[in-house]
Amino acid sequence: MNNIKVTLVAQFQPEHKVIILPILQTEELSVELAQIAETFGVDALLLQTDFKADLKEIHSFYSTGNQKIILLGLGKKANSSEIIRAFRTLIHQQKSKLPNEITIDARKLPETWIEFIVNGSILGTYDLRLYKTDEKASIPLLGNDGVLNILAESENAQTLVEKGKAIAETQMQVFDLMNAPANKKSPHTLAKWAVASGEKYNYSVKVLEKQQLNSQKLNALLAVGQGSEHAPMLIIMEYRSPKAKQTVGLVGKGVTFDTGGISIKSSTNMHLMKSDMGGAAAVFGAIELAAKLELPVHLVGIVPACENAVDGKSFKPSDVINSYSGKTIEIIDTDAEGRLILADGLSYLTRNFKVDTIIDLATLTGSCVATLGYHAAGMFTNNDELADTLTEAANQTGERLWRLPLWDVYKEDILSDIADVRNYSGKPMAGAISAAKFLEVFTDNHQNWAHLDIAGTAFGDTDFAPQRAGTAFGVRLLVDFLSKI
């Protein structure tokens, strides 16, 4: 965790040696650049020639007072995600060159953007080198006296600063969870994180370990985890605001590493399967932030956590397993394991808590990646109002969702000859839809449920990690959704 202090300032000071000016690409750009040139004593024509304010464009110069001025382009119509990314990119690229104190002028931008400026700037300081042993270069901005000044005139500026910082700090913890390799991350690691967060932010956490899973018959979760030396766990988190009017249940897939089991994956990209707990990470982030930001909601988070390993004890294709719901499941493919643990998680939620809304998140299918690529997650729900609210939140945060069908005609894909359902259709098409239809079976016909398949969006960020890294996708989306309701 970095130590950057974020402060509000009313005007530029002589000691502000680095000033960042975010610039929108408007018709008045030429006039604005001329004013900047006059203020800082540089040639206006050169500035107007060299800087066009394209999104993430960076241009720097020195003033006559030896201040370093950095112009950051925000394009014509940047959304919140693009603003965050622009500031994150700037700080990520420049942090080794920046002094311990920088100042960002937010006076000409919409008030709400202060949150995104702070969020992106702090995210830009994230260090992915979790296990490198070489000595890290000294970065003054990350030192104990690191200061980020925000020049703003808004009455709500302090609240927005605090929110942007709070979200960024939780997102970076989620980054660490997502980026940790399999030998550094087990179901116990996830449970330990949740317990520590709950103690710090005053929400309750209960962990069901193997003996309790057996006694309560969470058999689908147990089956997926039975081939691993790391015992599966069910992590139950609950935050209750005294102002809550609705209860929301979140369920996140927590497979800490997925080999595919007996239906083993190709070795080409198997190392990326350390990210198969992206749904759990989103739930962790959302419930911690609900508590930190004191959102007026009653929130229940369920994370079934396990490792899908290859062993003589592993569950096998053709097995018929039981589940917490009482329904039997025929195993066609052990690499379709996420929906099995979510089945137990969803059933546990509906049968132990009375919730108004259920949202599950999972890095579930390659089919969803083939459909939407790395730019959007698939959304499945039969509730139009819930779909609209989630879409509105997604559009606000830039964590895109695209609604896919959940028609009953797809039920045929999960019919089994010998069990209540089967976990995989075996067909090379509609894989994300059949997975959603499988999950629907375990919602106890809840009328306000949505499934988000985040397989293509939870792990990427090649701008900041050439070999891909955790994105914390879903955290801001869920916080915005919880705020809306």
Catalytic annotation, residues = 265, 339
Question: What are the tokens at 449?
Answer: 């449920």
453 is in an annotated binding site: no
209 is in an annotated binding site: no
* Alpha carbons 150 and 107: distance in angstroms, whole number: 9
3-state secondary structure of 477: helix
162 is in an annotated binding site: no
Dihedral angle over CA of 35, 39, 41, 43, nearest 10: -10
Closest CA to 224 of 381, 336, 327, 90: 336
Decide: 470 and 174 in contact? Cβ < 8 Å. Answer: yes
Side chain identity at residue 390, one-letter code:
L
Closest CA to 92 of 143, 128, 64: 128
Dihedral angle over CA of 208, 213, 215, 217, nearest 10: 140
276 is in an annotated binding site: yes
Closest CA to 459 of 189, 276, 268: 276
Closest CA to 284 of 382, 368, 205, 369: 205
* 92-107 as b/e: b if 16+ CB within 10 A: bebbeebebbbbbbbe
How many CB atoms within 10 Å of residue 354? 9
CA 69-72-73 angle, 5° bins = 145
258 is in an annotated binding site: yes
Which residues participate in the annotated binding site for Mn(2+)? Answer: 253, 258, 276, 335, 337
Which residues participate in the annotated binding site? Answer: 253, 258, 276, 335, 337
